[in-house]
Amino acid sequence: MSDLLERLRGRGWRMTAQRRVVAEVLDGDHVHLTADEVHARAVSRLPEISRATVYNTLGEMVSLGEVLEVSTDRRAKRYDPNAHRPHHHLVCARCGAIRDVHPAGNPLADLPTDERYGFMVSGVEVTYRGICPNCAATA
Amino acid sequence: MSDLLERLRGRGWRMTAQRRVVAEVLDGDHVHLTADEVHARAVSRLPEISRATVYNTLGEMVSLGEVLEVSTDRRAKRYDPNAHRPHHHLVCARCGAIRDVHPAGNPLADLPTDERYGFMVSGVEVTYRGICPNCAATA
DNA sequence: ATCCTACAATGGACATTGTCCAAGTCAAGC
DNA sequence: GCTTGACTTGGACAATGTCCATTGTAGGAT
C-alpha cells in the first residue's frame, strides 16, 4: 500500500479523497511526474478533482518534506516520492527521461570556503545530462 | 570592447543593430540576466527592439556555445556570457542571488558506470543552495 | 552606388506552467 | 448529526516563452 499515505496521516493531515488520490498516484509509479501528469492520472480515479487542488496538495507534500520537487528542465517541475533517500538525477537531453543516480563523492565538501562568498551553504543538486540508450539507438 | 561580439562576428554572424546591442548588454555586466532583463537594458539603447528578437538572439548565442543558459530556479532562464570557463552556481534560496563557483573534484568521474544506465553522459550541472550574507543578516 | 535576396526583426497571438481568490463543500471532533 | 475551520473548486490572472506572417535590411553581386 501507500507508505506515503501512512506518513502523511501520521502527521495529522486531514484526509480527503483528493489528497488520497494524489498520494496514491505519486506513490504508485516511481517515475518523476509533472503536476499535470499527476492531475491527469488523478482525474481518471476521481473525475472532479481540480488542477488547483493537485498543485496545492503537491506543494504541501513538498513542504512536509515527504516529496521532492525536481527541476531538470525549464518545463514543468516534477515530483519525486523518493524524498527520504538522497540522490541526484541523470536526464536524457533528447527525450527527457530521468533516472535517479547515487554518485560517489560529496560535492558539498568540494566547495572550498573561499568559494562560498559568505553563504551558509545548505544543499546541492547535481544533474547529469546525456543521451539515453533508446535515443542513441534512434539517432 | 566586446569579446563576445568579436567571437560572434568571427563565426559569420550577420551583424545587426539588435544583435550588437544584445551582445553588448550581456558582455557588459557579468551578472546572470534573464531574457526580459536583457530586453529591458537593450530597449534603453535601442528603443524599438522587440522581445522576440532578444529571445531569438539569446537562443542563437546559446546554440553557438558562446553563452550559457542557467536555470537555477523555475522562473526565468538566465544567460551567462562566461561560457568558456566551466563553472557551477551558488544560489541564495531567499533572494535568488547567483555566484559562479569552481568546486574541486570532478562530478562526472563520480558517476560509476553501473549508475549510468547505458546513457552517454556528456555533462553535469551542480547547483549549490544556501543563504547569502545579506539575507542572513536580515533574517 | 544600387539592387537582390536570404536572413533577421517585428509584434501580437498563443501555449504552458503555475498562482490566487471567493464561494461552496466536507472531515473530524463534539 | 451539527459545527466549524480546513479543503476544494473553477476560473481569472500572471510570468515566461514560442510561433508566425509580415516587413525590413545586411552584405554580396553587378
Q: Yes or no: say if A108 and A121 are a contact pair by the CB < 8 Å rule.
A: yes
Question: What confidence tier does A3 reach under pLDDT thresholds 50, 70, 90?
Answer: confident
Beta bridge partners of B34: B78
pLDDT above 60 (res A2): no
- All three cell numbers of A123, joined, read 544543499
Q: Taking 90 as the threshold, does the pLDDT of residue A124 lie above it?
A: yes
In chain A the domains, ranked by start, together with CATH numbers, are 3-80 (1.10.10.10), 88-137 (3.30.1490.190)
pLDDT at B1 over 50: no
Structure confidence at residue A29 as a pLDDT band (50, 70, 90):
confident
Instruction: Give B127's contacts (C-beta < 8 A, 6+ positions apart).
Output: A124, A125, A126, A127, B72, B88, B89, B90, B91
Q: Which residue has the higher pLDDT, A10 or A112?
A: A112
The whole-number pLDDT of residue B82 equals 85
C-alpha cell at B4: 563576445
- Residue B103 and residue A104: Cβ atoms within 8 Å? no
User: In the prediction, which pLDDT does A57 show?
Assistant: 97
The predicted pLDDT at position B53 comes to 97
Chain centroid, CA B105 distance in Å: 22
Tell me which chain B residues have a C-beta less than 8 angstroms from the C-beta of A101. 111, 115-116
- Rounded Cα distance between B83 and A51, Å, is 39
For D7, nearest residue by CA–C1' is A16
What does the pLDDT average to over A29-56? 93
* Chain C bases closer than 7 A to any CB of the protein: 7-12, 16-21, 26-28
Tell whether the model's pLDDT for residue A66 goes beyond 70: yes
Please indicate if the annotation marks B19 as binding a ligand: no
Question: Average pLDDT, stretch A36-46?
Answer: 95
Name which of A8-12, A47-51, B28-32, B132-136 the model is least confident about.
B28-32
Whether B15 sits with its Cβ under 7 A from any strand D atom: the answer reads: yes
Contact B119 A132 (CB under 8 A): yes
Our measurement of CA B14 to C1' C22, in angstroms, reads 54
Of A9-13, A123-127, B62-66, B98-102, where does mean pLDDT reach its minimum? A9-13
Chain A CA closest to residue B119: A132
Mean pLDDT of A121-126: 94
- B→A contacts (Cβ < 8 Å), by residue, are 71, 73-74, 77, 90, 92-93, 99, 101-105, 107-108, 110-112, 115-133, 136
pLDDT at position A1 over 50:
no
Q: What do you get for the CA distance between the two ends of chain A, in Å?
A: 40
Contact of B5 with B27, CB cutoff 8 Å: yes
- Residues A109-131, mean pLDDT to the nearest whole number: 94
Residue with cell 543538486: A125
pLDDT digits (tens, 9 = 90+) for A74-115: 889 999 998 888 899 999 988 888 999 999 989 999 999 999
CB contact under 8 A, B92 and A119: yes
Q: Give, in Å, how far the C1' of D17 lies from the CA of A1.
A: 40
Contact A110 B102 (CB under 8 A): no
- Rounded to an integer, what distance in angstroms lies between the CA atom of residue B132 and that of residue B128? 12
Which of B71, B116, B130 has the CB atom closest to A120's CB atom?
B130
Q: Per-residue pLDDT for B139 more than 70?
A: no
What is the tens place of the pLDDT at every residue in B31-87?
Answer: 899 999 999 999 999 999 999 999 999 999 999 999 999 988 888 999 999 888 889
CA distance A138 to chain B (A): 13
- What value does the mean pLDDT of chain A take? 91
Would the CB atoms of B130 and A115 count as touching at under 8 Å?
A: no
Tell me what pLDDT residue A38 has.
Answer: 96
Q: Which residue in A73, A90, A117 is closest to B90 by CB distance?
A: A117
Average pLDDT over residues B89-117: 92
